[in-house]
Structure 1
Amino acid sequence: MNQELCIIIHGFTGNPWEVDPLANALERIGYEVITPLLPGHSISNERMEKVTALEWIQMVEKIVIHAIEENKVVHMIGFSMGAMIAAIMAYRYQITTLVLLSPAVYVLSPYLLRMKLEKFLQQARKVRSMSGQTVHKSPLIIRSTPIYNIFQFHKIVRQAKRIFQHISLPICIIHGQKDETVDPRSSELIYSVSSSKDKELHYLPLSRHHICRDCEVDSVVQTVIKFIKKYH
């Protein structure tokens, strides 16, 4: 039997830390796992370097091509923007399964804007209630992302949206219903338009965007493992 490889792609401005719990679980049960750091990103969350969407795709593409040349069974797994890159790979190459975690289709929607406003108001109330304390004792760390990089992110999203209807391999989609970054309806769209006859859509009622680091991570791990074990 051919060796099985799971390629797990992290999200925009992120790093492999976002998917480490899933990667570690897959390694423990015998899968080979690769979690590349996309060009321009960093482990320490430093300011992004100026890179292109093409560079992100080409880096993952090299890994996929090498695995196929070695006759490995390839499971593509992607988180957020990484899910969109994973989908592009599944469209271009002979991939066995595709797993999309919090796929980033609808990033700025009325639903998300409302959630962000509610979160901001909650934080503002907390600050006001901190009697005698200054805001710097409870800082909100916001890392700005250059417009150039955001534009490259949207290029990935647009490219992936055009090919979902042409994807026919087994696909598993998982999304947190409390996602504050990507509208959960993104997953519903992909599920409805994909051509796959074997597809699953799972919603996590308590999870936000980083589902591999949230309270239902065990469900994520179990769902992914159960899904990819069906295909060799």
Structure 2
Amino acid sequence: MYQELCIIIHGFAGNPREVEPLARALERKGYEVMTPLLPGHSTDKKRMEKITALDWLQMIEEIMEHAIEENKKIHLIGFSMGAMIASIMACRYRVASLVLLSPAVYVLTPYVLRMRLEQFFQYTGKHRSLPDHERLNKQSLIRSIPLHNVFQFQKVVRQAKRIFQHISIPLCIIHGQKDETVDPKSAELIFRVAPSKEKELHYLPHSKHHIFLDSEGDMVIQTVTKFLEKYH
């Protein structure tokens, strides 16, 4: 009898808070849930500077290998850069299903820049304070990130882009259409390229990048839990 384990990987310059609503919901459903903090993703900038893409991948590999040794059935869930890491791991290890949330394939595109401008004028024009999920996003972006680590992020993305064509396990992709950080075309690319016979693509018409903390957060959780139940 397999024990069900959901490994949820947060995004670049983020932390497990980004995925906490989903983690709590899955725990209530009876899943064992892990939300690891990727190496260097703390408030200590000096620690971040020494971290490489390999460090991020190796940390998740260690978790995967330990779970496999304990005969656990693994569901991989990744947010943003975490979706890229999850995709890489899904091609290396035995995984029951893969969920990609706001997958970070295309980052700086005209669409993304337009979304940022629209949101900037939306809030400055109305003199409104940023919602909690927007504040979280801004904190991640404003925080001083070493250029070295931006290059490491790009390494992860490049590596993931080479393996999408090898993803054949059940796949669920969810992306907000008002994403101001990652172009929603990222989700479309993965869905088109992945050869999985069991795959779903869901767009959220009103959501930005942090889809758990946006207005359609409950819908995200319902979609993910319904998907996982199919491969229980």
Normalising to structure 1: TM-score of the pair? 0.90
Q: Which runs of 4+ in 1 moved over 6 A?
A: none
SS in structure 1 opposite 2:151? helix
Give how far 1:46 is off: 5.2
The residue aligned with 1:19 is 19
Task: Give the gaps of 5 or more residues in structure 2.
Answer: 129-137
Task: Give the gaps of 5 or more residues in structure 1.
Answer: 130-139
SS in structure 2 opposite 1:229? helix
Q: Amino acid of the residue matched to residue 226 of structure 1?
A: K
User: Deviations 1:190-220 (Å, cap 9, x if unpaired)?
Assistant: 0000010000000111110001111111111
Q: How far apart in 1 are the matches of 2:21 and 2:225?
A: 13
Give how far 1:120 is off: 3.4
Give how far 1:6 is off: 0.1
5 Å matches for 1:122-141?
Answer: 122-125=122-125
The residue aligned with 2:133 is none
Q: Percent identical across equivalent pairs?
A: 69
Q: How far apart in 2 are the matches of 1:70 and 1:148?
A: 36
Q: Amino acid of the residue matched to residue 65 of structure 2?
A: I
Q: How far apart in 2 are the matches of 1:57 and 1:115?
A: 31
- Contact 2:176–2:184 (8 Å) recurs in 1: yes
The residue aligned with 2:48 is 49
Q: How far apart in 2 are the matches of 1:195 and 1:69?
A: 28
The residue aligned with 1:9 is 9
The residue aligned with 1:162 is 162
User: Deviations 1:143-192 (Å, cap 9, x if unpaired)?
Assistant: 23221110000000000000000110000000011100000110000000
- Contact 2:4–2:72 (8 Å) recurs in 1: yes
Q: How far apart in 1 are the matches of 2:121 and 2:203?
A: 26
Closer, same or farther: CA 122–216 of 1 in aligned 2, 3 Å: closer
Q: How far apart in 2 are the matches of 1:146 and 1:110?
A: 24
The residue aligned with 1:83 is 83
The residue aligned with 1:30 is 30
Q: How far apart in 1 are the matches of 2:30 and 2:117?
A: 44
The residue aligned with 1:215 is 215
Which range is displaced more, 219-228 or 117-126?
A: 117-126
SS in structure 2 opposite 1:49? helix
5 Å matches for 1:139-218?
Answer: 142-218=142-218
User: Deviations 1:40-76 (Å, cap 9, x if unpaired)?
Assistant: 002xx55361200000000001001111111110000
- Contact 2:48–2:146 (8 Å) recurs in 1: no
SS in structure 1 opposite 2:172? strand
Q: How far apart in 2 are the matches of 1:21 and 1:121?
A: 29
Q: How far apart in 1 are the matches of 2:99 and 2:231?
A: 12
Query: How many residue pairs get matched?
Result: 219
The residue aligned with 1:64 is 64
Q: How far apart in 2 are the matches of 1:125 and 1:91?
A: 46
> CA RMSD for the aligned pairs?
1.6
Closer, same or farther: CA 124–209 of 1 in aligned 2, 3 Å: same
- Contact 2:76–2:99 (8 Å) recurs in 1: yes
Give how far 1:117 is off: 2.6
Q: How far apart in 2 are the matches of 1:225 and 1:178?
A: 23
